[in-house]
Amino acid sequence: MKIIVVGASGTLGGPLVDLSSVTDGEFAAGLRAKLLGQVALARRALHYLRDNGSITLTAGTFAAPVPGGSLGALVNAGLEGFVRNAAAELPRGLRINVVSPGWIRETLVQMGADGRAGTPATEVASHYLACVNGEYTGHAITV
């Protein structure tokens, strides 16, 4: 049986924060939850995954710079950098990748927005499956 770990906490919406007014505590809380939480998941998974197991984390992407998006951009870039480097350190053939989706079409529709700007959930899911079932490691897949 193939054992995998997929972390989707990067999909939880964090607040857009104004760099000039965000507190150190608010910024640190965002880093702990969205960045360090997934790093901790990956570190713990090392002890439970069988040889050749797979870890796939979730970052995100902005189509363009967004006012208040600096924390999200930092988290996304941090996860991508972590995955690229951690791949070289993993033992026993373990693999790690990160999927960075933008807005999901169905989420936009559910929010009452124009869904045409989003990516269909099935397309995003296909990238997670490619990470889990593929052979590559250290990749950041932008959807």
Domain locations in the chain as residue ranges: 4-11+19-142
pTM: 0.88
Residue 136's pLDDT band (cuts 50, 70, 90): very high
Average pLDDT of span 17-39: 88
pLDDT tens sequence across 42-76: 999 999 999 999 999 999 887 778 888 888 889 89
Worst-scoring range by mean pLDDT, 39-43, 111-115, 136-140?
111-115
Statement: 4-11+19-142 belongs to CATH 1.10.10.10: no
Q: Which H, E and C letters describe the chain, residue by residue?
A: CCCEEECCHHHCCCCCCCCCCCCHHHHHHHHHHHHHHHHHHHHHHCCCCCCCCEEEEECCCCCCCCCCCHHHHHHHHHHHHHHHHHCCCCCCCCEEEEEECCCEHHHHHHCCCCHHHCECHHHHHHHHHHHHHCCCCCCEEEC
